[in-house]
Structure 1
Amino acid sequence: MHKLATACLLLTALLLSPALLSAADPPLEFEGVTEKHVMIPMRDGVKLSAYLYFPDGKGPWPVLMEQRYASLRSKGGRLSFAEMASHGYVVCGVNFRGSQLSEGTWVGYRDLQWGEKRDGYDVVEWLAEQPWSTGKIGTFGSSQAGYAQNYLAVTQPPHLVCQFMIDTGLSLYDEGYFIGGAAKPNRFKGMDAVSRVPAHNRALMKEWFSHPDYDDYWRAEDASLHFDKMNVPCFT
Structure 2
Amino acid sequence: MTLHTHDVVPRPNWTAPPGKPPLSSRMMRATWRGLPAKQHEVGWERGLVVPAADGSPLLTDHYFPRTKGDFPTLLVRSPYGRGLPWSPLYGLLFAEQGFHVVLQSCRGTSGSGGRFDLWRNEPADGRAAVSWLREQPWFTGTLGTIGPSYLGYVQWALALDPPPELKAMVVQVGMHDPHSFFHAGGALNLENALVSGAGITFQHQGLAPMLKATLRLHRRLREITTARPLRRAYESAFGEVPWLDDVMTHPDADDPYWLGTSLGEAAERLSVPTSLITGWHDALADQTFEQYGRLRRAGCETALLVGPWTHTSALQQGWPEVFSESLAWLRAHLCDDPAGLRAQPVRVHVGGESAWRDLDDWPPVPVTTAWFPAVNGTLTQQTPTGSTPLTSFRYDPADPTPSLGGPLLSRGAGPRDNSALEAREDVLTFTTPPLTEPVDVLGPVSARLRISTDTGYADVFARLCDVDAQSRSTNVCDGLARLQTAGQAPSEVTVPMSSTAHRFAAGHRIRLQVSGGAHPRYARNPGTGEPSVEATSLMPVRITLHTGSALALPQGAQVRSSSASDHPTPRQQTETETEAETKE
TM-score by length of 2: 0.32
- Percent identical: 27
Match in the other structure for 2:201: 192
Q: Does residue 150 of structure 2 align to residue 144 of structure 1?
A: yes
Contact 2:80 / 2:204 at 8 angstroms: preserved in 1? no
SS in 1 for 2:264: helix
Match of residue 57, structure 1, among 54, 67, 71: 67
Counterpart amino acid of 2:174? T
d(CA) in 2 for partners of 1:94, 1:156: 18
Change (3 A) 1:92 1:76: closer
d(CA) in 2 for partners of 1:27, 1:193: 19
Match in the other structure for 1:177: 182
Gaps of 5+ in 2: 1-21, 30-39, 210-237, 277-584
d(CA) in 2 for partners of 1:201, 1:130: 40
Which is further off, 198-207 or 220-229? 198-207
Contact 1:99 / 1:195 at 8 angstroms: preserved in 2? yes
Match of residue 35, structure 1, among 26, 33, 44: 44
Contact 2:90 / 2:101 at 8 angstroms: preserved in 1? no
Contact 2:25 / 2:87 at 8 angstroms: preserved in 1? no
What is the CA distance between 1:105 and its match in structure 2? 0.6
Deviations 1:3-42 (A, max 9, x none): xxxxxxxxxxxxxxxxxxxxxx548749721111112112
Counterpart amino acid of 1:36? E
Asked which structure has the greater CA Rg, the reply is 2
Higher RCO by CA contacts (8 Å cutoff, separation 6 or greater) = 1
Contact 1:34 / 1:53 at 8 angstroms: preserved in 2? yes
Change (3 A) 1:203 1:27: closer
Match in the other structure for 1:222: 262
Match in the other structure for 2:246: 207
Gaps of 5+ in 1: 1-24
d(CA) in 2 for partners of 1:233, 1:150: 13
Counterpart amino acid of 1:35? W
Q: Does residue 83 of structure 2 align to residue 73 of structure 1?
A: yes
Change (3 A) 1:76 1:95: closer
SS in 2 for 1:61: coil
Match in the other structure for 2:363: none
What is the CA distance between 1:76 and its match in structure 2? 7.6
Contact 1:192 / 1:201 at 8 angstroms: preserved in 2? no
Contact 2:149 / 2:172 at 8 angstroms: preserved in 1? yes
Change (3 A) 1:182 1:229: same
TM-score by length of 1: 0.75
Contact 1:153 / 1:229 at 8 angstroms: preserved in 2? no
Deviations 1:161-193 (A, max 9, x none): 11011212321101x222443333533431321
Change (3 A) 1:81 1:227: closer
Aligned length: 206
What is the CA distance between 1:209 and its match in structure 2? 3.5
Contact 2:41 / 2:67 at 8 angstroms: preserved in 1? no
Contact 2:74 / 2:102 at 8 angstroms: preserved in 1? yes
Change (3 A) 1:162 1:147: same
d(CA) in 2 for partners of 1:84, 1:224: 28
SS in 2 for 1:85: helix
d(CA) in 1 for partners of 2:173, 2:63: 25
Counterpart amino acid of 2:182? Y
Match in the other structure for 2:129: 123
Which one has a larger percent helix, Structure 1 or Structure 2? 1
Change (3 A) 1:205 1:163: same
Aligned alpha-carbon RMSD (Å) = 2.9
Deviations 1:172-221 (A, max 9, x none): 101x222443333533431321467x999712223334422112332311
What is the CA distance between 1:55 and its match in structure 2? 1.0
Contact 1:112 / 1:151 at 8 angstroms: preserved in 2? yes
Deviations 1:36-65 (A, max 9, x none): 111211231112122111112344421012
Match in the other structure for 2:479: none
What is the CA distance between 1:227 and its match in structure 2? 3.6
Contact 2:142 / 2:166 at 8 angstroms: preserved in 1? yes
d(CA) in 1 for partners of 2:265, 2:90: 34
What is the CA distance between 1:156 and its match in structure 2? 1.6
Contact 2:120 / 2:261 at 8 angstroms: preserved in 1? yes
SS in 2 for 1:53: strand
Change (3 A) 1:79 1:146: closer
d(CA) in 2 for partners of 1:108, 1:201: 16
What is the CA distance between 1:125 and its match in structure 2? 2.8
